[in-house]
């Protein structure tokens, strides 16, 4: 693009008029016949006077040429592509999406204003620079970016109102995904210029600079719109002192969301220190907002490190209990990450169905014999789990409607329709535990579990016996216990689960080429028998031989747990260990709690059930963080009513309560929406990260809103110069008159 342009370029032909003063000057210098006469010698000017007259005549000629040029240029209306005269302004015809970082680190303040408030103010100021025809949209960038409108808006007052309505920062911020969402919105625009403007504090976690796949996807997304958008990043933390200390708590881990009265439930939470020196962190434990002083503790956290804080709780009454761990730290840079929550549902005895596959008449030889005694011993009138047993041949579909979990003990065959019914049972949020034994065969396993869709990616090979060398017995490898519900057997003193000896087990293989690990993102495959999604199996316990013992997978909303050995003493000594009772309880609690879902990730719906009569009497609502209130969506049933909140965008604690609930009144139910705690450990973008983002013009980083405006509008902010030229014309005209008069007067003076 040229430096200067003209609105009336044809008028530049008027520059040929500069020839007029030149012609006049040349005509005035024509030579005539000279007649010498006697007194001529007294009238001739001196040589110095002649030189001065010639110089002034030349200057006068240039002034007259300049007058003509200035007039012609001013009529042609020249303009320059710069805002140095009139300021940098949008020339219109643009679509803009503003992305506001809503993560925890945006809660930092300079003593008066938080970074989030500053970002909103900067975004509001930027809106004023847009032209009336420009369109704009707002995205609240958190764990899951949320556009505040589904289309680009031309009304700036509506956009300003949306900025003012943004909730305070909470959780993490996925800025890379938010930028992709913004580009998707820009794809619906029609203007020639399209920009994404991100207001953030340059924290590294929000951009995922180490994720090559994410940025390859970003490069592909940028290519989709007909007009390639530009992405600008405004650092609103410029000038804020660097963080010297920040203590944060990770997600509270319990392994399951369900327990029964007086059953111990352990929990643990990571305490992180982002400071440059070690720190002593006092911690408090609260149940439903009430502090438990006997649970308090202090942990020492090294610089740039973390320490685990753990406790064990018992609940006496049924209902959902909110467990809160709070770090009491002064002068912490970010206070929003000093609390972490978990919701635990306490239920009465859980009904479980034991399905026995043995054909033996002697019940003591049944595979479920010890499990029955462990779950519902005859002397216990208030068991935690109500276990009912049935032979596999006698199992009916109606039996599944009365229980929360099913244990299939060495079951090789089922009545017609039961495998598909079990798939639906699991997909509805219930649990299925499968144990193998002597009756199991590869063919039977395929027919009952593989083809039905319960375990479509698992197949049996053969049984394997342990070595006869008794000096090295085959046991559970301690390092393999990765699931949260198995932590107590790895960490507790005197745990006997790891001492159980295994003499025989089944070898299994995955039919898919990609094996899932616990660190992998959960991948899914279609089931054989239905449309439910099944995740690839994860080995949660392994034998010292290297073979899987416990394999876990999800089917729909439920969980399936496969044990490659038996629950009887025929293949192992597990039933003889003291940990057998807590093991079978923990396994079933974990299976049943999958459908409880009181702890969910951002974006997931909240769902619970109430007695139909109770639900019909009250107006119920979900109360969320920052005084958000949403009416519960009710779906009536025969005996109970399902209450739901369709989606969650802000992490924190949510309560189901009456619309007129008084302060301090216990809610009907509670939920915890969790977020990715990676950003709780602050780390700014490095120079290498910035180089990566600048590659292929992915991102353009600016330090202030002024730099943003100058960078975006410099090529289109036009300054017209005709008024300057007219002012120059007046100056030259006055100068020309003065020079003419001076030349005449000085010339006569020279003659005198």
Q: Does 331 share its domain with 195? A: no
Over residues 710-731, the pLDDT tens digits come to 888 766 655 556 667 777 778 8
Residue 38 belongs to a domain: no
The tokens describing 662, both together, are 């008084």
Query: Mean per-residue pLDDT for 431-440?
Result: 94
Q: What whole-number distance in Å separates Cα of residue 137 and Cα of residue 154?
A: 9
Residue 37 belongs to a domain: no
Distances from the Cα of 567 to the Cα of 104, 393, 433, 540, 679, angstroms: 47, 19, 11, 17, 43
Q: Does 238 share its domain with 274? A: no
Query: Mean per-residue pLDDT for 220-249?
Result: 86
Query: Mean per-residue pLDDT for 317-327?
Result: 93
Cβ atoms of 137 and 147 within 8 Å: the answer is yes
* Confidence bin at 529 (pLDDT 50/70/90): very low
Residue 503 belongs to a domain: yes
The tokens describing 426, both together, are 């699991």
pLDDT the model gives residue 87? 54
3-state secondary structure of 143: coil
Which structural domain, as residue segments, surrounds residue 330? 247-347
Q: What whole-number distance in Å separates Cα of residue 212 and Cα of residue 218?
A: 10
Element (H or E) spanning 744, and its range?
A: helix 722-751
Query: Mean per-residue pLDDT for 6-10?
Result: 70
**Least confident range of 423-427, 447-451, 487-491, 702-706:** 487-491
User: What is the model's pTM?
Assistant: 0.73
Q: Is the pLDDT of residue 525 over 60?
A: no
Greater pLDDT, 497 or 682? 497
* Confidence bin at 513 (pLDDT 50/70/90): very low
Q: Does 231 share its domain with 124? A: yes
Q: What whole-number distance in Å separates Cα of residue 531 and Cα of residue 427?
A: 10
509: domain CATH number?
Answer: 3.40.50.880
**Helix 175-186 and helix 212-223: axis angle, to 10°?**
10
- Contacts made by residues 399-404, CB under 8 angstroms, sequence distance 24+: 399/353, 400/353, 400/425, 400/430, 402/351, 402/353, 403/351, 403/352, 403/353, 403/430, 404/350, 404/351, 404/352, 404/430, 404/431, 404/592, 404/595
Answer with the one of 347, 375, 404 that is the final residue of a domain: 347
The tokens describing 623, both together, are 């109360």
Q: Does 116 share its domain with 60? A: no
Q: Does 435 share its domain with 528? A: yes
112: domain CATH number?
Answer: 3.40.50.410
Q: Does 657 share its domain with 706? A: no
265: domain CATH number?
Answer: 2.60.40.10
Residue 745 belongs to a domain: yes
CB atoms within 10 A of CB 220: 10
Q: Does 102 share its domain with 74? A: no
Q: Does 340 share its domain with 365? A: no
- Residue 128: DSSP 8-state: T
Cβ atoms of 147 and 185 within 8 Å: the answer is yes
Distances from the Cα of 107 to the Cα of 332, 333, 366, 632, angstroms: 11, 9, 60, 30
Q: Is the pLDDT of residue 444 over 90?
A: yes
* Confidence bin at 39 (pLDDT 50/70/90): low
Q: Does 71 share its domain with 144? A: no
Residue 220 belongs to a domain: yes
Answer with the one of 347, 373, 390 that is the final residue of a domain: 347
Residue 510 belongs to a domain: yes
How many domains are there within the chain?
Answer: 5
Q: Does 263 share its domain with 375? A: no
Q: What whole-number distance in Å separates Cα of residue 102 and Cα of residue 519?
A: 26
Q: In 289-304, which positions are buried (b, 16+ CB within 10 angstroms) versus exposed (e)?
A: eeeeeebeeebebeee
Residue 674 belongs to a domain: no
Answer with the one of 593, 613, 645 that is the final residue of a domain: 593
Q: Does 447 share its domain with 550? A: yes
Over residues 334-391, the pLDDT tens digits come to 888 999 999 999 988 889 999 999 888 788 888 899 999 998 887 777 788 899 999 9
3-state secondary structure of 253: strand
- Cross-strand bridge partners of residue 458: 510
Cβ atoms of 323 and 288 within 8 Å: the answer is no
Q: What whole-number distance in Å separates Cα of residue 435 and Cα of residue 580?
A: 14
Residue 677 belongs to a domain: no
Find where tokens 């394999």 sit.
551
Counting DSSP H helices and E strands in the chain, the numbers are: 16, 37
Q: Does 419 share its domain with 550? A: yes
- Cross-strand bridge partners of residue 344: 321
Q: Is the pLDDT of residue 520 over 90?
A: no
pLDDT the model gives residue 517? 36
Give 123's contacts (C-beta < 8 A, 6+ positions apart).
98, 100, 138, 163, 197, 199
The tokens describing 599, both together, are 């702890």
């Amino acid at each position: 693009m040229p430096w200067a342009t003209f609105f009336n370029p044809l008028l530049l032909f008027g520059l040929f008029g500069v020839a007029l003063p030149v012609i006049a000057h040349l005509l005035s210098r024509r030579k005539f016949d000279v007649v010498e006469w006697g007194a001529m010698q007294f009238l001739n000017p001196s040589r110095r006077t002649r030189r001065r007259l010639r110089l002034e005549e030349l200057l006068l000629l240039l002034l007259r040429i300049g007058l003509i040029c200035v007039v012609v240029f001013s009529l042609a209306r020249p303009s320059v592509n710069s805002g140095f005269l009139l300021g940098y302004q949008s020339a219109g015809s643009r679509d803009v999406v503003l992305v506001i970082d809503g993560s925890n680190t945006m809660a930092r303040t300079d003593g008066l204003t938080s970074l989030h408030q500053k970002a909103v103010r900067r975004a509001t100021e930027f809106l004023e620079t847009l032209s009336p025809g420009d369109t704009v949209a707002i995205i609240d960038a958190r764990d899951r970016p949320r556009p505040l409108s589904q289309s680009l808006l031309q009304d700036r007052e509506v956009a300003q109102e949306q900025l003012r309505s943004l909730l305070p920062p909470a959780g993490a911020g996925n800025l890379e995904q938010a930028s992709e969402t913004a580009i998707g919105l820009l794809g619906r625009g029609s203007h020639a210029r399209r920009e994404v403007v991100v207001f953030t504090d340059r924290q590294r976690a929000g951009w995922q600079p180490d994720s090559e796949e994410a940025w390859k996807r970003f490069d592909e997304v940028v290519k989709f719109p007909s007009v390639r958008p530009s992405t600008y990043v405004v650092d609103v933390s410029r000038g804020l002192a660097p963080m010297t200390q920040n203590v944060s708590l990770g997600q509270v881990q319990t392994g399951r969301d369900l327990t029964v009265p007086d059953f111990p439930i352990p929990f643990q939470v990571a305490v992180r220190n982002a400071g440059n020196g070690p720190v002593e962190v006092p911690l408090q434990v609260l149940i439903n907002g009430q502090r438990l002083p006997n649970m308090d503790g202090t942990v020492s956290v090294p610089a740039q490190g973390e320490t685990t804080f753990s406790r064990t709780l018992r609940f006496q009454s049924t209902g959902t209990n909110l467990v809160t761990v709070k770090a009491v730290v002064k002068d912490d840079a970010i206070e929003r990450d000093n609390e972490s929550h978990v919701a635990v549902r306490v239920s009465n005895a859980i009904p479980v169905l034991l399905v026995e596959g043995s054909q033996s008449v002697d019940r003591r030889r049944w595979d479920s014999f010890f499990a029955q005694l462990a779950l519902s011993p005859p002397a216990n009138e208030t068991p935690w789990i109500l276990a009912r047993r049935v032979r596999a041949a006698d199992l009916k579909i109606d039996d599944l409607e009365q229980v929360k979990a099913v244990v299939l003990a060495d079951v090789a065959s089922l009545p017609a329709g039961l495998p598909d019914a079990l798939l639906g049972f699991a997909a509805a949020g219930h649990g299925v535990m499968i144990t193998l034994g002597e009756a199991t065969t590869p063919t039977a396993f395929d027919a009952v579990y593989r083809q039905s869709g319960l375990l479509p990616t698992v197949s049996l090979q053969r049984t394997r016996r342990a070595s006869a060398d008794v000096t090295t017995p085959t046991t559970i490898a301690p390092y393999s216990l990765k699931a949260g519900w198995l932590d107590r057997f790895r960490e507790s003193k005197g745990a006997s689960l790891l001492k159980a000896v295994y003499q025989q087990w089944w070898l299994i293989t995955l039919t898919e080429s990609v094996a899932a690990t616990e660190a992998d993102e959960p991948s899914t495959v279609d089931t054989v028998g239905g449309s439910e999604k099944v995740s690839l199996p994860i080995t949660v316990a392994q034998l010292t031989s290297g073979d899987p013992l416990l394999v876990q997978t999800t089917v729909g909303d439920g969980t399936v747990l496969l044990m490659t050995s038996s629950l009887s003493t025929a293949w192992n000594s597990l039933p003889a260990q003291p940990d057998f009772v807590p093991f079978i309880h923990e396994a079933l609690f974990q299976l049943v709690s999958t459908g409880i879902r009181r702890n969910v990730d951002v974006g997931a719906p909240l769902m619970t059930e109430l007695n139909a009569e109770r639900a019909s009497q009250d107006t119920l609502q979900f109360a969320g963080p920052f005084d958000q209130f949403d009416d519960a969506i009710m779906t009536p049933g025969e005996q109970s009513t399902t209450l739901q909140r369709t989606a969650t965008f802000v992490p924190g604690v949510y309560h189901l309560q009456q619309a007129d609930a008084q302060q301090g009144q216990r809610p009907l139910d509670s939920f915890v929406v969790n977020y990715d705690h990676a950003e709780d450990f602050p780390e700014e973008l490095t120079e290498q990260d910035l180089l990566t983002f600048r590659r292929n013009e992915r991102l353009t980083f600016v330090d202030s809103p002024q730099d943003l405006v100058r960078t975006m509008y410099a090529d289109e902010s036009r300054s017209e110069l005709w008024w300057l030229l007219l002012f120059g014309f007046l100056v030259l005209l006055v100068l020309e008159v003065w020079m003419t008069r001076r030349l005449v007067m000085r010339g006569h003076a020279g003659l005198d």
